[in-house]
Amino acid sequence: MPSASPRPSPPGSRLAGMREALLIAFCDAVNARADLDDALWARLSAAFSEAARIELMMLAGFYRTVSLLANGLRLEPEPFATPFPT
């Protein structure tokens, strides 16, 4: 059975930079539209296994859910948490 995610690229390699740029494009798309166009999905398919793509979608959805709850319920930040820059 193939690995759920491909072998990591060495830090600083051109491939690592390309994959990182692809992940940023993925994050931008799901945050802006909650959708991916066919071209981006094809690029993700070429770089990541099916299991890894599903994991990316699940992680993005989980983060969005937590963010919606925390913001919508006006939860106070935990005292030990480092705040995000504003």
What H or E segment, with its residue span, contains residue 24? helix 14-33
Where does the pLDDT of residue 13 fall: very low under 50, low under 70, confident under 90, or very high at 90 and above?
low
Close Cβ partners of 25 (under 8 Å, ≥ 6 residues apart): 40, 43
Listed by start position, the domains of the chain span: 14-72
Per-residue pLDDT band for 2 (boundaries 50, 70, 90) equals very low
How many CB atoms within 10 Å of residue 26? 21
Burial of 37 (0-12, 13-18, 19+ CB in 10 A): exposed
Q: Where are the beta strands (DSSP E) in 1-86?
A: none
Please name which of 49, 48, 58, 65 lies closest in space to residue 2, comparing C-alpha atoms.
49
pLDDT confidence of residue 15: 63
Residue 84: its pLDDT value, please?
Answer: 79
pTM of the model: 0.69
